[in-house]
Amino acid sequence: MSTTTSKSSAYPGSRLFESLGKKVDLPLDQLNFIIAQAIALILAFLFTFLLKHQSVSKTTRHVASLIPGVILGYFCFGYQISNLLVMGMLCYIAMITCKANVVQRVVLFVAMFYLSYLHLLRLIQEYGSYTVDITGPTMIAVQKVTSLAFSLHDGLARPQEQLTNEQRKYSVRKIPSLLEFLSYIFQFQSLMCGPLVYYNDYIEFIEGKNFARHMEGNTTKSKPTAMWAVMRRLSISVFFAIMLLTLTPKFPVDKLADENYLRQTSFFSLMLYLFATTAVARFKYYHAWNLGETICNASGLGFNGFTTDGKPKWDLISGVDIVRFETSLNLREALEAWNKTTQSWLRRIAYERTRRYRTLATYVLSAVWHGFYPGYYMTFLTGALYTQAARTARRCIRPHFQKSTSLAFFYDIITCITTRVMMVYLVFPFVLLEFYASLKVYIRLYFYGHLFSLLAIFVLPKLLPPPPVKGASHKLS
């Protein structure tokens, strides 16, 4: 889901359910999203029961993923769904014409350039609106085409011994057919809001190998069912949808742009409001991502083997670990739990491929991928500062609290609270979007996030030098 919008509201879904939207007091774009995802969930169950890989061909399963995706995309976005086709075909042409040693760079440039064009178009047409539009599906499509291009580069241009285990697993040694490519881009299971499915995982799902690979040589296990995973994730999605409808009107984010409110409220009250409004903003993603995973799991996509006690795992394309994020002890743990498929994509195509300034390059790519609202850049550039500060502070402080269990427990409590306080400072510009409004909130907060980060980087090592590490280098977490 995207936070930008278009002025074109005459989508087929808008006209069809306009009266229903008025009755339930729900914006048409959100109503269309929910209806499209509900239809996708029904189709996912039908896909599982009627189109088993043993009884139909791979071509049939590809078409059955492609056609509903195009129809649902048209239902929500009208002619704008053609942007996915145009961007996808430009990248596909690059894949079949460019040499394998440069294809990943060309596709990354083309995809990000096209996405940036859409972001800028929405920015010009209707600045500051919070509406579901075509940029959301395009962001997911960009992840797909770029990850596929890097996998082709790994499979066709790099010696296997130079690849990491993950790169070797996802390397692709043959350019997909046009049907395979379009099915991958438009698959109805993840078209609207993800999650990102890597190409090899998608092809295994189409061919039915995602189950066989984990069950090979083990006759004691029957084919796992996704029903429990579907019901659990669907329940989570519905819960956060109710929370959104209930709490969003009580904590509007635009209140932070009210100068009178900022002047009259105390520092403590402002912090409480920031905690509330950023939490409500997260609920939107918890709802959408869990719904997307529900649809994927219902169609049989997302199986990831068995636990040690033999229970099936459906976490291959898990988007967020809510409990871990909300109780994370440090920034790295929080980032690993949040939007996990996007974190994986950023790591695989940016962090692991960049020789210098890896952290900064990764944050910049993430910001451009999200769009051009100033708040995104304020958040991600501050995040790069936070990352360095967190690493330095951990090196200097943590060893002193590992001398006993009680000290370690106390350290975990302090870092958990600190992470919450620093995270709310980090993410509110992402929600507020605007530069001057965010800057005024920074001023009202005395820039505490930036100041503490700079002190951790430049002053803390002098006051509390990190202890020398014996033996192997110390691994940060």
Per-residue pLDDT tens, the chain, 477 aa: give them: 333 333 444 455 556 666 666 666 677 778 889 999 999 999 999 999 999 999 999 999 999 999 999 999 999 998 999 999 999 999 999 999 999 999 999 999 999 999 999 999 988 887 766 677 899 999 999 999 999 999 999 999 999 999 999 999 999 999 999 999 999 999 999 999 999 999 999 999 999 998 887 776 565 566 788 999 999 999 999 999 999 999 999 999 999 999 999 999 999 999 999 999 999 999 999 999 999 999 999 999 999 988 888 888 999 999 999 999 999 999 899 999 999 999 999 999 999 999 888 988 998 999 999 999 999 999 999 999 999 999 999 999 999 999 899 999 999 999 999 999 999 999 999 999 999 999 999 999 999 999 999 999 999 999 999 888 665 444 433
| CB contact burial 431-459 (16+ within 10 A = b; e otherwise) | bbbbeebbebbbebbeeebbebbeebbee
Rounded CA separation 270/457 (Å):
27
Catalytic residue, from 260, 297, 339, 400: name it: 339
Rounded CA separation 278/248 (Å):
10
Cα–Cα distances in angstroms (integers) from residue 178 to residues 87, 90, 140, 183, 195, in the given order: 14, 12, 19, 8, 22
Cα–Cα distances in angstroms (integers) from residue 32 to residues 16, 37, 319, in the given order: 10, 8, 22
Work out the number of other CB atoms within 10 angstroms of the CB of residue 247: 14
Catalytic residue, from 32, 370, 400, 474: name it: 370
Rounded CA separation 233/321 (Å):
11
What is the longest distance spanned by two Cα atoms in the chain?
69
Please check whether residue 144 is in contact with residue 84, taking contact to mean a CB–CB distance below 8 angstroms.
no
Half-sphere exposure of 273 (CA within 13 A, CB side): 19
**Strands in 161-249 per DSSP E:** none
Please check whether residue 448 is in contact with residue 269, taking contact to mean a CB–CB distance below 8 angstroms.
no
| CB contact burial 264-303 (16+ within 10 A = b; e otherwise) | ebeeeebbebbbebbebbbbbbbbbbbbbbbbbbbbbbbb
Q: CA quadruple 305, 306, 307, 313: dihedral positive or negative? A: positive
Which has the closest alpha carbon to 425: 277, 325, 326?
Answer: 277
| pLDDT of 13 | 55
Is residue 83 flagged as an active site residue?
Answer: no
Determine the 3-state secondary structure of 371 from DSSP: coil
Rounded CA separation 198/107 (Å):
16
Cα–Cα distances in angstroms (integers) from residue 471 to residues 398, 404, 467, 468, 475, in the given order: 18, 22, 13, 10, 12
Rounded CA separation 164/353 (Å):
12
> CA 221, 307, 196: angle at the middle one, nearest 5?
105
**Residue 350 in tokens:** 């940016």
Is residue 339 flagged as an active site residue?
Answer: yes
Rounded CA separation 152/158 (Å):
10
Whole-prediction pTM value? 0.91
The distance of Cα 289 from the centroid of its chain, to the nearest Å, equals: 8
**Phi then psi dihedrals of residue 103, to 5 deg:** -60, -35
Please check whether residue 302 is in contact with residue 293, taking contact to mean a CB–CB distance below 8 angstroms.
yes
